[in-house]
């Protein structure tokens, strides 16, 4: 596969989605069905974010890179996502390559109860607090713990929502917001909250103070 970022100097952090960008999904593909992805103003942070909505009929997901024949080729080992928990199904799937040249998949979901490791995919719980969350995944550590191999690079990232189970059936699609995204980026080291650059933080106004959301 052609790699998008192999020739990019990878140090510090590398952003693949920023809701304030002129084209936040420029390198992403969208599979929407009856759902949608739109930019809205979040009421908590008073700033533009991407909202992914699903219906009770079809799944919705975005995937990076947009070209299925390309891979990211990002060697930075930390994947950081600034997302808002809307109380609905949300999952992230990360495709990585290890030092055995084997492609592994990690899928974390807020509806998953326990970790399951299979030869080519590891599924695990994603615990989200109410409101805005900074989710940090150490891909090198996950690869080592799950498969005993060494992380080489990330090939693909997928953000997915699923249809909602309804108590009664409807013949029409009902749209529900599943999650909101501020930013998704890779980092060469684990950032503590106080070390995260200002442009990567989410500030939630409380009275007259701005407090970073954790």
> For position 166, what pLDDT does the model report?
43
The pLDDT score that the predictor gives to residue 106 is: 95
Q: Running along the chain, 214 residues long, what does each successive block of 10 average in pLDDT?
A: 70 86 89 83 91 73 90 92 87 94 93 90 90 92 96 93 52 61 90 67 50 39
pLDDT value of residue 161 = 81
Helix (H, G, I), strand (E, B) or coil at 24: coil
Give the number of other CB atoms < 10 A from CB of residue 203.
Answer: 16
Instruction: Write down the pTM of the prediction.
Output: 0.84
What percentage of residues in the chain have a pLDDT greater than 70? 78
Query: Considering only CA atoms, which of 81, 101, 84 is closest in space to residue 157?
Result: 81
> pLDDT value at position 110?
86
Task: Write down the pLDDT at residue 60.
Answer: 82
Cβ-contact 144, 150 below 8 angstroms: yes
Gyration radius (Cα) of the chain, Å: 17
pLDDT of residue 20: 87
Specify the pLDDT at position 165. Answer: 52
- The predicted pLDDT at position 176 comes to 57
What are 95's two structure tokens? 């495709």
Please report the pLDDT score of residue 21 as a whole number.
84
C-alpha to C-alpha distance for 193 and 209, rounded to whole angstroms: 17
């Amino acid at each position: 596969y052609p790699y998008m970022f192999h020739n990019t100097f990878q140090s510090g952090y590398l952003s693949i989605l920023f809701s304030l960008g002129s084209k936040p999904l420029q390198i992403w593909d969208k599979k929407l069905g009856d759902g949608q992805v739109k930019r809205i103003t979040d009421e908590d942070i008073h700033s533009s974010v991407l909202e992914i909505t699903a219906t009770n009929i079809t799944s919705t997901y975005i995937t990076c890179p947009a070209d299925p024949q390309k891979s990211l080729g990002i060697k930075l080992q930390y994947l950081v996502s600034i997302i808002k928990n809307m109380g609905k199904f949300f999952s992230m799937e990360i495709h990585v390559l290890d030092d055995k040249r084997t492609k592994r998949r990690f899928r974390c979901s807020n509806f998953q109860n326990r970790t399951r490791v299979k030869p080519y995919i590891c599924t695990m719980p994603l615990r989200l607090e109410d409101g805005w969350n900074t989710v940090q995944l150490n891909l090198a550590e996950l690869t080592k713990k799950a498969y005993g191999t060494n992380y080489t690079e990330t090939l693909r990232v997928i953000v997915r929502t699923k249809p909602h189970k309804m108590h009664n059936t409807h013949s029409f699609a009902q749209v529900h917001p599943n999650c909101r995204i501020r930013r998704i980026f890779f980092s060469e080291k684990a950032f503590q909250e106080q070390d995260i650059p200002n442009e990567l933080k989410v500030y939630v106004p409380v009275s007259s103070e701005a407090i970073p959301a954790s």
